Structure 1
């Protein structure tokens, strides 16, 4: 088996999917990338027990086809130090020895049989498919993943809840202290469904979705999802369990509502919080009809800050 590929292109794709690989894999082969060559397309896969991610790279001067597992460190680390140039891969199908030739050198090592790499489970016949703009998925993840928990006793809180209705998709996350709910009416479904996406695949998608321009296809059953993008595919296992009724904790008749410029508010809080107590990071807000006064202080070091931003506030004055 032989092929030629750009070192920069290969390195970029490898670095993206390398985040899947666990620092303590349960199987030695899961410390490897799976390379599968067919025609002029190289499919590269990384996996752990929960997530499987594959990407596709165009190659040239390819001879033969087949699969091979290569230690991730052996393949990726040298590429990080190489300037962009063509790489020639030559694989001996008999002893699995890999030679990689570049402009002024080469390196070689032994691979593992591609057939030994774990394969994903097939989705069952009840699987549902949704196709929608990839930026909707990116926006939903970006706005919710920060609110997910790290709670071993309540694993359902450790992911993003996808609440799918016939006329919208709602992303929900909560750690018990804060709750985020984001709804998109641009996603339609033939039937009602839901699942909990773990934090790890959510962050992996968050990394690749900014490069995508087009639609994402999400096919899922009760336990798994297959997420297809232009250059990447992902298979992931859901968090098992029933997500709490999030609507029950959202007040429906709260009279206190504030409208303000998000960026101005965010920057003001960042500036003022510099002067807060490092152990608590507490920032005080005083709300009135047309302004918010943001203050912080650190009594130990005699530092303090105060900033006022305009807003529209409907409700009783409060601190």
Structure 2
């Protein structure tokens, strides 16, 4: 295989594929990126057996062929090459030579035939979403994805169509985030799917570089996203997402209207002395104000008063400051609606009744 490619083009493509490769691998071939040279271009593929990313770039191909080489090493080399340089790739006899200007590298390779591929099967459900919409879905939900491996069915974003709406939901049992959309054409009858956390993370990186539409393909076991020239394919989480609708409160009759930025800054300040383990902050609700307070046996006390619109009976409620800040960082607008019931009931947070995103936060004892 012999090909020449512009350094910036190769670096961007390697950036797309190499991040799915785990730093520590017991199977050597999984540390590698597959490079295939064919007429007028290079195709790069990387996988961890659960996720696969393929990207294609234009290149001058002298001799076609395919080879696999360490993904992270190649990425580091190309990243350190001079801007604007032409990179010559030449693979033969278990070695790949990389030349750019006066720099020359020789890397060990492994045979293409050993490289595992996630099947390129047709996926029965396919639809298109604007990249901006998909990025918004991810940003408004992914912070609530569980990291507890024992509850693997919560380790992703649950997407399903119900009653004429497309829902994207994430929860870790302490907080829940849900985004509601009009379903795109072609999504009728789509299977209920749980898109894994790593896939969500890789997809979000790709979305930063496109402002076009994204093609989504789905089956019961796989999802595929076409983002620009890149194709991300992932296995889905094989599990049943719990009936989350039961934890979304409908009868919370105490309404607090407050500026999310002011609340966020106040919570951030008082939580500076909160115990690292619990990060508990107490909200004391009173007529048209909220008093934020933290008491720490080791550090002392902190208090801050925040203006708000509130006319119901006053009471105290405690929240994990980090969880509350995560939600407040995603809401937009100058006022949010916080629907409360009592100190033990789930709290509902949304921008307003028309907003497409809602959040549920479980209180904690303070």
Using structure 1 for the length normalisation, give the TM-score.
0.90
Aligned to 1:69: 68
Instruction: Output the aligned Cα RMSD.
Output: 2.2
Instruction: Give the match's secondary structure for 2:106.
Output: strand
Aligned to 2:222: 224
Instruction: Give the match's secondary structure for 1:278.
Output: coil
Task: After TM superposition, give the deviation of residue 250 of structure 1 in Å.
Answer: 1.1
Aligned to 1:307: 304
Return the match for 2:286 from 279, 285, 288. Answer: 288
- 1:142-181 counterparts in 2 under 5 A? 142-165=139-162, 167-181=164-178
Task: After TM superposition, give the deviation of residue 202 of structure 1 in Å.
Answer: 0.8
Which sections of structure 1, spanning at least 5 residues, go unmatched? none
Task: After TM superposition, give the deviation of residue 284 of structure 1 in Å.
Answer: 1.2
Instruction: Give the match's secondary structure for 1:156.
Output: helix
Indicate if the aligned counterparts of 1:167 and 1:187 stay in contact, CA closer than 8 A.
no
Q: Deviations over 1:32-52 (max 9, x none)?
A: 011122222222111012100
Which sections of structure 2, spanning at least 5 residues, go unmatched? 317-366
Distance 1:186 1:211, change over 3 A: farther
Return the match for 2:275 from 271, 274, 277. Answer: 277
Aligned to 1:34: 34
Return the match for 1:208 from 184, 206, 209. Answer: 206
Q: Does 2:138 match 1:141? A: yes
Task: After TM superposition, give the deviation of residue 266 of structure 1 in Å.
Answer: 1.8
After superposing on structure 2, the runs of 4+ consecutive aligned residues of structure 1 that deviate more than 6 Å are: none
Instruction: Give the match's secondary structure for 2:10.
Output: helix
Which shifted more, 84-93 or 210-219? 84-93
Q: Does 2:83 match 1:119? A: no
Instruction: Give the match's secondary structure for 1:219.
Output: strand
Write the distance in 1 (CA, Å) between the matches of 2:18 and 2:190.
Answer: 34
Write the distance in 2 (CA, Å) between the matches of 1:44 and 1:313.
Answer: 57
Q: Does 2:314 match 1:317? A: yes
Write the distance in 1 (CA, Å) between the matches of 2:12 and 2:127.
Answer: 28
Task: After TM superposition, give the deviation of residue 19 of structure 1 in Å.
Answer: 2.0
Instruction: Give the match's secondary structure for 2:252.
Output: coil
